Structure 1
Amino acid sequence: MPLLQPQVVSRAGLTPTYGAAAASTTVPCGPRNFLHVKNTAGSSMTVTLTATAKIEGQPVTDVVVTVPATTGDKMIGPISQALFASDTNGTCAVTYSSTTNVTVACLSI
Protein backbone atom coordinates (compact mmCIF):
# COMPACT_ATOMS: atom_id res chain seq x y z
CA MET A 1 0.00 0.00 0.00
CA PRO A 2 1.43 3.40 -0.93
CA LEU A 3 1.97 5.85 1.93
CA LEU A 4 0.51 9.33 1.43
CA GLN A 5 2.80 11.84 3.12
CA PRO A 6 1.09 14.82 4.79
CA GLN A 7 1.45 18.19 3.14
CA VAL A 8 1.70 20.85 5.84
CA VAL A 9 -0.63 23.84 5.69
CA SER A 10 1.22 26.97 6.78
CA ARG A 11 0.60 30.67 7.23
CA ALA A 12 2.45 31.24 3.98
CA GLY A 13 -0.17 29.11 2.25
CA LEU A 14 -0.17 25.69 0.62
CA THR A 15 -1.19 24.68 -2.86
CA PRO A 16 -1.79 20.98 -2.24
CA THR A 17 -0.75 18.33 -4.72
CA TYR A 18 -3.40 15.69 -5.41
CA GLY A 19 -2.66 12.22 -6.68
CA ALA A 20 -4.85 9.55 -8.25
CA ALA A 21 -6.43 7.36 -5.59
CA ALA A 22 -5.16 3.78 -5.38
CA ALA A 23 -7.45 0.94 -4.26
CA SER A 24 -5.77 1.10 -0.86
CA THR A 25 -3.25 3.43 0.76
CA THR A 26 -1.91 4.27 4.18
CA VAL A 27 -1.63 7.66 5.83
CA PRO A 28 0.27 8.69 8.96
CA CYS A 29 -1.94 9.02 12.01
CA GLY A 30 -1.89 12.34 13.79
CA PRO A 31 -4.28 14.73 15.52
CA ARG A 32 -3.72 17.32 12.75
CA ASN A 33 -3.75 14.97 9.73
CA PHE A 34 -6.71 14.59 7.41
CA LEU A 35 -7.59 13.43 3.90
CA HIS A 36 -9.05 15.60 1.16
CA VAL A 37 -10.83 13.43 -1.40
CA LYS A 38 -12.24 14.73 -4.70
CA ASN A 39 -14.56 12.67 -6.92
CA THR A 40 -15.42 13.81 -10.45
CA ALA A 41 -16.82 10.44 -11.56
CA GLY A 42 -20.48 10.00 -12.46
CA SER A 43 -21.12 7.81 -9.38
CA SER A 44 -20.61 8.35 -5.68
CA MET A 45 -17.90 6.34 -3.93
CA THR A 46 -16.84 5.55 -0.39
CA VAL A 47 -13.64 6.02 1.55
CA THR A 48 -13.04 3.66 4.47
CA LEU A 49 -10.60 4.35 7.30
CA THR A 50 -9.96 1.05 9.06
CA ALA A 51 -10.42 1.38 12.81
CA THR A 52 -8.15 -0.76 14.99
CA ALA A 53 -9.21 0.44 18.44
CA LYS A 54 -11.19 -1.62 20.92
CA ILE A 55 -13.35 -0.45 23.79
CA GLU A 56 -13.80 -3.06 26.52
CA GLY A 57 -12.66 -5.68 24.03
CA GLN A 58 -15.16 -4.68 21.36
CA PRO A 59 -13.83 -3.35 18.03
CA VAL A 60 -14.61 0.22 17.06
CA THR A 61 -16.49 0.61 13.79
CA ASP A 62 -14.56 1.68 10.68
CA VAL A 63 -15.18 5.22 9.45
CA VAL A 64 -16.94 5.12 6.07
CA VAL A 65 -17.50 8.39 4.20
CA THR A 66 -19.52 8.73 1.01
CA VAL A 67 -18.07 11.17 -1.53
CA PRO A 68 -20.81 12.38 -3.91
CA ALA A 69 -20.62 12.04 -7.69
CA THR A 70 -19.40 14.67 -10.15
CA THR A 71 -18.34 17.46 -7.79
CA GLY A 72 -17.81 15.39 -4.65
CA ASP A 73 -15.36 16.91 -2.24
CA LYS A 74 -14.81 15.61 1.33
CA MET A 75 -12.31 16.38 4.06
CA ILE A 76 -11.93 13.45 6.45
CA GLY A 77 -10.17 13.61 9.79
CA PRO A 78 -8.48 14.02 12.13
CA ILE A 79 -6.83 10.65 11.73
CA SER A 80 -6.35 9.70 15.36
CA GLN A 81 -3.65 7.18 16.27
CA ALA A 82 -5.83 5.85 19.10
CA LEU A 83 -8.56 4.89 16.61
CA PHE A 84 -6.71 4.02 13.41
CA ALA A 85 -3.05 3.02 13.94
CA SER A 86 -2.78 -0.25 12.02
CA ASP A 87 0.90 -0.94 12.56
CA THR A 88 3.91 0.00 14.63
CA ASN A 89 4.63 2.87 12.21
CA GLY A 90 1.41 4.59 13.30
CA THR A 91 -0.33 4.54 9.95
CA CYS A 92 -3.99 4.18 9.04
CA ALA A 93 -5.20 1.84 6.29
CA VAL A 94 -7.50 3.57 3.80
CA THR A 95 -9.52 1.93 1.01
CA TYR A 96 -11.52 3.47 -1.82
CA SER A 97 -14.58 1.78 -3.38
CA SER A 98 -13.67 3.34 -6.71
CA THR A 99 -10.55 5.06 -7.99
CA THR A 100 -11.79 6.27 -11.37
CA ASN A 101 -11.65 10.08 -11.45
CA VAL A 102 -10.81 10.19 -7.73
CA THR A 103 -7.91 12.24 -6.38
CA VAL A 104 -6.63 12.51 -2.85
CA ALA A 105 -4.19 14.47 -0.71
CA CYS A 106 -3.12 13.99 2.89
CA LEU A 107 -2.93 17.36 4.64
CA SER A 108 -1.76 18.45 8.06
CA ILE A 109 -2.52 21.67 9.91
Structure 2
Amino acid sequence: MPRTPIPVTQITRAGVAAPTETNGDPANNHTVQNNGRVVLLVRNSGSTTARTVTLRLPGSVDGQSVTPRTVSVPQSASRYIGPFPTDSYGSTLQVDVDNAELKLIALAI
Protein backbone atom coordinates (compact mmCIF):
# COMPACT_ATOMS: atom_id res chain seq x y z
CA MET A 1 0.00 0.00 0.00
CA PRO A 2 1.14 3.58 -0.52
CA ARG A 3 2.57 5.59 2.34
CA THR A 4 0.11 7.69 4.35
CA PRO A 5 0.60 11.42 3.71
CA ILE A 6 0.97 13.82 6.61
CA PRO A 7 -0.55 17.24 5.79
CA VAL A 8 1.80 20.22 6.20
CA THR A 9 0.53 23.28 8.08
CA GLN A 10 2.17 26.53 6.98
CA ILE A 11 3.01 28.79 9.93
CA THR A 12 2.09 32.44 9.28
CA ARG A 13 2.60 35.73 11.10
CA ALA A 14 -1.18 35.92 11.52
CA GLY A 15 -1.12 32.59 13.37
CA VAL A 16 -2.73 29.26 12.63
CA ALA A 17 -4.82 26.84 14.64
CA ALA A 18 -3.04 23.78 15.98
CA PRO A 19 -3.30 21.04 13.33
CA THR A 20 -4.81 17.62 13.94
CA GLU A 21 -2.27 14.89 14.62
CA THR A 22 -1.81 12.07 12.13
CA ASN A 23 -1.81 8.65 13.77
CA GLY A 24 1.36 6.67 13.21
CA ASP A 25 0.94 3.93 10.60
CA PRO A 26 3.72 1.36 11.11
CA ALA A 27 2.35 -0.88 8.33
CA ASN A 28 2.42 1.74 5.52
CA ASN A 29 4.49 4.55 7.10
CA HIS A 30 4.29 8.16 5.88
CA THR A 31 5.32 10.87 3.44
CA VAL A 32 5.56 14.63 3.93
CA GLN A 33 5.89 17.25 1.20
CA ASN A 34 9.21 18.89 2.02
CA ASN A 35 10.20 22.43 1.05
CA GLY A 36 13.37 22.40 3.15
CA ARG A 37 11.66 24.30 5.98
CA VAL A 38 9.50 21.49 7.36
CA VAL A 39 9.62 20.51 11.03
CA LEU A 40 7.96 17.39 12.43
CA LEU A 41 6.36 17.30 15.86
CA VAL A 42 6.34 13.66 16.95
CA ARG A 43 4.47 12.75 20.14
CA ASN A 44 4.72 9.38 21.87
CA SER A 45 1.23 8.86 23.27
CA GLY A 46 2.30 5.65 25.02
CA SER A 47 3.24 5.59 28.67
CA THR A 48 5.33 2.42 28.79
CA THR A 49 8.27 2.65 26.37
CA ALA A 50 10.26 4.88 24.05
CA ARG A 51 9.34 4.71 20.35
CA THR A 52 11.41 5.34 17.22
CA VAL A 53 10.79 7.48 14.16
CA THR A 54 13.02 6.86 11.12
CA LEU A 55 13.74 9.44 8.42
CA ARG A 56 14.77 7.86 5.13
CA LEU A 57 17.33 9.55 2.90
CA PRO A 58 16.96 8.95 -0.84
CA GLY A 59 19.83 8.00 -3.07
CA SER A 60 23.10 6.26 -2.48
CA VAL A 61 26.81 6.91 -2.00
CA ASP A 62 29.18 4.74 -4.02
CA GLY A 63 26.28 2.42 -4.77
CA GLN A 64 25.40 1.96 -1.09
CA SER A 65 22.12 3.07 0.47
CA VAL A 66 22.41 5.95 2.91
CA THR A 67 21.74 4.93 6.50
CA PRO A 68 18.39 6.35 7.66
CA ARG A 69 18.33 8.80 10.54
CA THR A 70 16.50 7.57 13.64
CA VAL A 71 15.14 9.58 16.56
CA SER A 72 13.99 8.05 19.82
CA VAL A 73 10.90 9.64 21.39
CA PRO A 74 10.73 8.89 25.13
CA GLN A 75 7.55 7.56 26.70
CA SER A 76 4.84 10.24 27.06
CA ALA A 77 7.13 12.85 25.42
CA SER A 78 7.36 14.88 22.20
CA ARG A 79 10.22 15.81 19.89
CA TYR A 80 10.50 18.55 17.27
CA ILE A 81 12.63 17.23 14.39
CA GLY A 82 13.90 19.19 11.39
CA PRO A 83 14.25 21.10 9.18
CA PHE A 84 15.08 18.72 6.35
CA PRO A 85 17.19 20.19 3.51
CA THR A 86 15.81 19.07 0.16
CA ASP A 87 19.28 18.30 -1.20
CA SER A 88 19.64 15.59 1.47
CA TYR A 89 16.06 14.46 2.16
CA GLY A 90 14.34 15.25 -1.15
CA SER A 91 11.07 17.04 -1.81
CA THR A 92 9.10 14.12 -0.38
CA LEU A 93 10.26 13.14 3.09
CA GLN A 94 9.78 9.45 3.95
CA VAL A 95 8.93 8.92 7.62
CA ASP A 96 8.71 5.47 9.23
CA VAL A 97 7.29 4.81 12.70
CA ASP A 98 7.74 1.72 14.81
CA ASN A 99 4.35 1.95 16.55
CA ALA A 100 0.90 3.54 16.21
CA GLU A 101 1.48 5.28 19.57
CA LEU A 102 3.47 7.90 17.65
CA LYS A 103 1.40 10.90 16.58
CA LEU A 104 2.75 13.25 13.89
CA ILE A 105 2.31 16.87 12.84
CA ALA A 106 4.21 18.57 10.00
CA LEU A 107 4.78 22.32 10.17
CA ALA A 108 6.42 24.53 7.53
CA ILE A 109 8.21 27.64 8.72
Distance 2:4 2:64 in 1: 29
Aligned partner (choices 80, 83, 96) of residue 75 of structure 1: 80
Which 4+ stretches in 1 moved above 2 angstroms?
53-61
Could you tell me how far 1:51 is from its partner in structure 2? 0.9
| Deviation per residue, 1:82-107 (Å, 9 max, x gap) | 2222xxxx31211101112x211110
Where structure 2 has 5 or more consecutive residues not aligned to the other structure, the ranges are none
Where structure 1 has 5 or more consecutive residues not aligned to the other structure, the ranges are none
Normalised to the residue count of structure 1, the TM-score between the two structures is 0.82
1:39 partner amino acid: N
Does the 8 Å CA contact 2:31/2:93 hold for their aligned counterparts? yes
Aligned partner (choices 1, 8, 12) of residue 6 of structure 1: 8
Q: Secondary structure at the match of 1:69?
A: coil
Answering whether residue 70 of structure 2 is matched by residue 64 of structure 1, we say: yes
Normalised to the residue count of structure 2, the TM-score between the two structures is 0.82
Number of equivalent positions = 103
Q: Secondary structure at the match of 1:48?
A: strand
**Pairwise CA RMSD:** 1.7
